[in-house]
Amino acid sequence: MSAPKKLFIKTYGCQMNVYDSERMAEALGGEGYVETKSADDADMILLNTCHIREKAAEKVYSELGRFKGLKAEKPDLKIGVAGCVAQAEGEEIMRRQPLVDLVVGPQSYHRLPEMEAKTRAGEKVLDTDFPEEDKFEKLKNRPKAKRGPTAFLTVQEGCDKFCAFCVVPYTRGAEVSRPADRILREAQDLVERGVREITLLGQNVNAYHGAGPNGDLTLAQLIWELDKIDGLERIRFTTSHPNDMQDDLIEAHGTCAKLMPYLHLPVQAGSDKILKRMNRSHTAESYIRLIERIRAARPDILISGDFIVGFPEETEEDFQATMDLVEEVKYGTAYSFKYSTRPGTPAAERPQVDPAAADDRLQRLQALLTRQQREVQDSMVGREVGVLFEKTGRLPGQMVGKSDYLHAVHVADCNRDAGELARVRIVSSGANSLAGELIG
């Protein structure tokens, strides 16, 4: 019996890429590959790329350059580039880096086994189509190996919003929702393998409208179907758009016990002028009123967000409007970035903000967001929360897990195993995590 081939996957970017990498590994697992933690040991290397941040493509070329020596030592080594950079720059990757054997876009990775076979026959393979077939249905069923207590599950891909700064509509395509029955089957399979918490993924997840037995389901209706699965204890979803936060989803946050009190709802800016130039189709006021409605349904919900500073034509007054919005909403966590041009997007052609001014604004915003995050964490001390344990800690007898609010929680003298859900009293707040003690 021949030894299994080894696959090394490096994943960049969002949770959807993490999910995609899992599925790529499963697709190639059917061809005799097992994953390895080291590129040096691999028979195939896959870079699953993200195109959101500045110089994303150059980072991929730099990473590929590190593999030249390895390729020279192992001529049979196959190297592939997958994901959004592959979609955007497929032919250019092949031209600039001859060591690359295959390039596959995010909608075509179910074809990896066929592509891998062609590379073994000496061919170079490029597939960045948007195929008509459902890639999820074409993939082999997930192997029945035991899983950790948490998992991602993609339910929706693509985006029709065409924000002026974003490449997703060009690299992932139009919004497509998976049929509900297929999602429920995959969720049931994950639970049977030990998963207790599922995070539903989509570029615009709350625009979900997947086919159900009696017409399309909204995301809230899908969540209520998932709620019926015995053994599934927690449900989350990300990433959402304010314009698709429907009434039934707001209500579900107040009535569905399995839907966790955490919501990532990016606003991007607090200036209506900048929001209009971003093509966000909402205002700062409408966003704030939406947050009020969500908190009325679930008062303890933790709100997370995304912010871009230094967007083309942003003035100090526009930036101050963002700071004012942050002060009013009070975020439990948030992600903030300095605007970076993405070739081919409308904003890339507009007058750019002075980099030094953008840097200064980012530092001020991050200081405010960090203060708010710490205040929310500190407010958890003395409260009881549910914690899903995921792994052992650094100290003997310590377990680490996530709270209902997605805070990392360390519990000492813990006699629980990974995958167990327990009530914990928070006793202290650290820089990026909480400490707790078991109740009972």
Token pair recorded at residue 435: 């400490």
Question: What whole-number distance in Å separates Cα of residue 377 and Cα of residue 430?
Answer: 8
- The SS3 of residue 438 is strand
Residue 98, Cβ density class (10 Å: 0-12 exposed, 13-18 middle, ≥19 buried): exposed
Between CA 57 and CA 8, with CA 55 as vertex, the angle to 5 degrees is 45
Question: What whole-number distance in Å separates Cα of residue 200 and Cα of residue 159?
Answer: 16
Question: What whole-number distance in Å separates Cα of residue 369 and Cα of residue 240?
Answer: 20
414 is in an annotated binding site: no
Helices (H), 279-399: 284-297, 316-329, 355-379
Please list, in sequence order, all residues whose beta carbon lies within 8 angstroms of the beta carbon of residue 145, skipping any fewer than 6 positions away: 193
DSSP secondary structure, 98-156, as one string: TT--EEE-TT-GGGHHHHHHHHHTT--EEE----SS-HHHHSPPPP-----SEEEEE-E
Cα dihedral 299, 302, 303, 304 in deg (nearest 10): 180
**β-strand partners of 238:** 201
Cβ atoms 297, 339 nearer than 8 A: no
50 is in an annotated binding site: yes
256 is in an annotated binding site: no
Cβ atoms 105, 126 nearer than 8 A: no
**β-strand partners of 388:** 402, 421
84 is in an annotated binding site: yes
Token pair recorded at residue 263: 């919501």
- Angstrom CA distances, 266 to 126, 135, 213, 224, 323, stand at 34, 28, 32, 24, 14
Cβ atoms 3, 41 nearer than 8 A: no
Cβ atoms 188, 218 nearer than 8 A: no
Task: Extract the annotated binding site for [4Fe-4S] cluster.
Answer: 14, 50, 84, 159, 163, 166
Task: Extract the annotated binding site.
Answer: 14, 50, 84, 159, 163, 166
